[in-house]
Amino acid sequence: MTLTGAQILWECLLREGVEVVFGYPGGAILPAYDALLDVPIRHVLARHEQGACHMADGYARASSKVGVVIATSGPGATNLVTGLATAMLDSVPLVAITGQVGSRLLGTDAFQEVDVTGVTLPVTKHNVLVTRAADLGPALREAFAVARTGRPGPVLVDITKDAQQATAAFDWEAWAPTRHRRHAAPGPKPEDLEAARQLLARAQRPLILAGRGIELSGARDAVLAFAEATGTPIATTLLGLGAVPAQHPLNLGMMGMHGEAWVNQAIQEADLLLAFGMRFDDRVTGNLATYATNAKKLHVDVDAAELGKNVAVDLAAHADLRAFVEALGTDFDTPDTDPWLARIRDLRGDAAVRDIQNLPDDGHLYAAHVIHDLWKLTEGEATVVTDVGQHQMWEAQYYRHDRRRSLITSGGLGTMGFALPAALGAKLAEPEREVWVVAGDGGFQMTSPELMTLVQEGVKLNLAVINNGFLGMVRQWQELFYARRYAATPILSPDFAKLAEAYGIRGLAASTREEARAAIREARTHDGPVLIDFRVEQEDAVYPMVPAGAALDAMIRRPMPAPSLLAETGADATST
Amino acid sequence: MPHLLLATLDDEPGVLNRVVSLIRRRAFNIQALTVGPAEAPGTSRMTLVVESDEAGARRVAAHLEKLLNVLKVELLTEKPAVVRYLALLRVAAPVALRSQVLTVGAAFRAQVVDVSEDSVVLECSGGAEKLAALAEALRPYGLLELSRTGALAMARGTAPALIPKARAEADLPPLAMSV
């Protein structure tokens, strides 16, 4: 069978199981778009290639399939860079297809020519320039294999226009890739398992650090079984939220810069850290010199280059996490952890009293209240896709993610503008699922034109814009570390509800807690997308907080509420 | 301290760029880099000297292993190895001093590869110290040009085959650092 390069492209995608691609057409990718009309693959037209890339990312995170984004040469391709880097940092399997100028024009600064494989080299797991139709099939098959094997990541295939137009024999079997196999997660080594058991046998105060690797390796059940059998508590990274149920009694919650103080204190007091599919990011460790100095450290990761990268560990196991934890088993003696769990309960101390969600309504609308109410009213069942900043941390603190893949957020790169397009992708991956965007007024304005994509594609999801009139997280740092000199952080916004209406989307606004709850209820029952402009307290700050570079237990706690408010907290506290 | 890494690469355009870009963006410092054809057709062999601590060198190896065009990486630091450099030196050698220059060269077992009216070109291979000593010995006569390669290295004794068997047959060996 002889096909054009463009036909080979879509035939390969079909055979890879691709049902939807996100993209934006242009000159150098026109042959591919022309051939798209003849294949049963849905194309979602974004309003900007960055949006298309985040859509593919959200689709991949919600479905565990490979997301596909397609763009033209030059500016189309460079607009993907932020999305590719976002996927790279958070280990998301993506395949990006870009058109390139004709092969005879390569290197001539032709119209819309950019060295795309050069530009995207550091933000892709692999990339390749295809200049001949005959090379396209092998390159695509390998791209999908590399994207999903081992530690997932984005792969870019740059295809010259003439390679899309020329013909070549289609030979699926002959194109079976092999090089990706070296990325495949190795099984656990017996000596590593034995060393791990010996560490566990001596540990009085063990603690699991749960990262995104748990989801990626399908280790949820294995990790829970291990934790329960050994009585080991769990702290999670931001991307580890939902990897194990938030409300599991052994799950302490999020660690790190905006983790609860007692969780970070527990890390500092632990005598054994079991790092499962996490990478000791600086937002998690604080000052490395003072990080968990009492603890032996066991690190299990599919990526050998992560082992020993940030934190020197006592045992580095390069292995598939699920296979490792399952092989580790529970058939060995470990010390009783009841005293350790009791100690952690003590560490909680007065944290609940300081927690804003436990405070009564004082007439102001706080972002924490909004997130808490969203969690209650959606019964914790929604997929929440956040942007980056204060609202992201409040979401992480107050929405209890029990279900896997129910939080989609840009963790490693911290990409503002991620939420709306990623949520669209997530909704297409799970059409029956209730999906909420939680974004700030700053980040939302970076990609808000994708509202029109929602309408054009007939996608129902709801948007919570946490509007405080500032680039809130930067403002918070200015408040704490730059003497309240608010350089370039006050930000004006359009009337978001009116903006939504201009797109044909229902727009609501809420300034009190009652209005907030009513708006959430209305959004859930309305057929089409609904945007809610939550006008929250302007100079609210996310606590607790480890200042960047400080020791993990040197946290800025939540301020104590006024005594008059404290007296009223009892009833509300138990309602959570 | 400097660490020696050997890597076998696909001999394709852009592969060197991938390797160098990776090492640069991971903030490691390349002291020397030598690339040439390896024993198997379509592959090249790279000898890399990286300034780093031991853990860093292992991480460089692990990062390199992840590149699809890198077939095999070996960290030589802990193993006995032959390490050689090649130098070409153009030395001022007027007739009156020529025999002295050649005597110095002979002491280092350098070959004369070009002779002109007022200079000679010497070729010498050996360890870094030897080549540095030769350059210093020739400097008083007028060292007009010096060109030196990076390191070439090979493990002593019976080293494991650098090129795995047909890649299609089986999974490639695990990363060097975890062996």
Residues of B with Cβ-Cβ distance to A316 under 8 angstroms: 178
Query: Measured between alpha carbons, how far is A255 from A248 in angstroms, rounded to an integer?
Result: 16
* Axis-axis angle for helices A49-63, A419-429 (nearest 10): 40
Instruction: Please state, in angstroms and rounded to a whole number, the distance separating the CA atoms of residues A397 and A393.
Output: 6
Q: Return the pLDDT at A354.
A: 66
Dist CA A260 CA A9 (whole Å): 48
Residue B133: pLDDT over 60: yes
What is the SS3 assignment for A291? Answer: coil
Q: Enumerate residue ranges in chain A where pLDDT < 50.
A: 566-576
User: CA of A532, closest CA in chain B: separation in Å?
Assistant: 42
Q: How far is the C-alpha of A27 from the C-alpha of A419, rounded, in Å? A: 29
Across the A:B interface, residue pairs with CB atoms under 8 Å apart total 52
Q: Is B21 on the interface with A (CB under 8 A)?
A: yes
Q: Does A180 touch chain B (CB under 8 A)?
A: yes
Q: Answer yes or no: A111 catalytic.
A: yes
Residue given tokens 């903006």 in the structure block: A499
Average the pLDDT over each of B5-9, B86-90, B167-171 and give the range with the smallest value: B167-171
In this structure, are residues A422 and A399 in contact, taking their beta carbons and an 8 Å threshold? no
Strands A206-210 and A234-236: parallel
- The catalytically annotated residue of A7, A88, A113, A161 is A161
Whether A51 contacts A454, CB under 8 Å: no
Closest chain A C-alpha to B172 CA, distance in angstroms: 5
pLDDT, tens digit, for every residue of B57-93? 999 999 999 999 999 999 988 788 899 999 999 999 9
Say how far apart CA A495 and CA A443 lie, in whole Å.
Answer: 15
Which residues are A438's β-sheet partners? A386, A464
pTM over 0.90: yes
Interface contact A308, partner B, CB < 8 A? yes
Contact B55 A308 (CB under 8 A): yes
Question: Which residues in chain A touch residue B63, judged by CB atoms under 8 angstroms apart?
Answer: 305
Q: Which residue of B has its CA nearest to A145?
A: B68
Question: Quick check: is A112 catalytic?
Answer: yes
Report the percentage of chain B scoring pLDDT > 90: 75
**A126 in reach of chain B (CB within 8 A):** yes
Considering only CB atoms, which chain A residues are within 8 Å of B67? 126
**SS3 call for B122:** strand
In this predicted structure, what is the pLDDT of residue B61?
Answer: 94
Give just the sign of the alpha carbon dihedral B123, B128, B134, B139.
positive
CA distance A406 to A411: 14
CA A208 from centroid of its chain's CA atoms? 20
Please name which of A452, A455, A479, A483 lies closest in space to residue A468, comparing C-alpha atoms. Answer: A479
Q: Is A49 a catalytic residue?
A: yes
Residue A402, chain B, CB below 8 Å: the answer is no
pLDDT confidence of residue A352: 66
Cβ of A364 under 8 Å from any chain B Cβ? no
Yes or no: say if A254 and A552 are a contact pair by the CB < 8 Å rule: no
Q: What tokens does B140 get?
A: 């008083």
In contact, A546 and A564? CB cutoff 8 Å: no
Catalytic residue, candidates A473, A476, A545, A555: A473
> In this complex, is the C-beta atom of A146 within 8 Å of any C-beta atom belonging to chain B?
yes
Place of tokens 């990325």: A183
Q: Which of A178, A184, A308 minimises the CB distance to B59?
A: A308
Amino acid making up residue A490: P
- For residue A561, say if its preceding peptide bond is cis, omega within 30 degrees of 0: no
Q: Rounded CA gap, A456 and A459, in Å?
A: 8
Residues of B in contact with A180 (CB under 8 A): 68
Helix (H, G, I), strand (E, B) or coil at A134: helix
Question: Residue A119: its chain B contacts at CB < 8 A?
Answer: none
- B25: nearest CB among A122, A125, A178: A122
Considering only CB atoms, B174 lies closest to which of A186, A309, A316, namely A186
- Check: CB of residue A215 under 8 Å from CB of residue A281: no
CB contact, 8 Å: A117 with chain B? yes
B63 and chain A in contact, CB less than 8 A: yes
Tell me the nearest-neighbour CA distance from A138 into chain B, angstroms. Answer: 14
Q: Which residues of B52-117 form beta strands (DSSP E)?
A: 70-75, 81-92, 111-115
C-alpha separations of A17 from A41, A66, A97, A177, A248 in Å? 10, 9, 16, 16, 35
In this structure, which amino acid lies at residue A65? K
Residue showing tokens 């030059």: A74
Q: What's residue A241's pLDDT?
A: 98
With CA atoms as reference, the chain A residue closest to B66 would be A183
Which tokens sit at B39?
Answer: 């024993």
Residue A480 CB contacts under 8 Å (≥ 6 apart), including other chains: A541, A545, A547, A556
Is A427 an active-site residue? no
Count other Cβ atoms within 10 Å, centred on residue A109. 8
Q: Which residues partner with B128 through β-bridges? A: none
Angle at A260 between CA A254 and CA A264, to 5 degrees: 80
Residue A21, beta-bridge partner list: A43
Crossing angle, helix A190-202 and helix A321-328, to 10 degrees?
Answer: 60
Interface check B3 vs A, CB under 8 A: no
Question: Does the structure show a pLDDT above 50 at B173?
Answer: no
Determine the Cα–Cα distance for residues A233 and A260; give it in Å rounded to an integer. 14
pLDDT digit string (tens) for B37-54? 999 999 999 999 999 998
**Min Cα separation B66/chain A (Å):** 7
Are A507 and A531 in contact by the 8 Å Cβ rule? The answer is yes
pLDDT in tens, A373-425: 999 999 999 999 999 999 999 999 999 999 999 999 999 999 999 999 999 99
Pairing of strands B2-10, B119-126: unpaired
> Is the model's pLDDT at B2 over the cut of 60?
yes
CB contact under 8 A, A182 and B65: yes
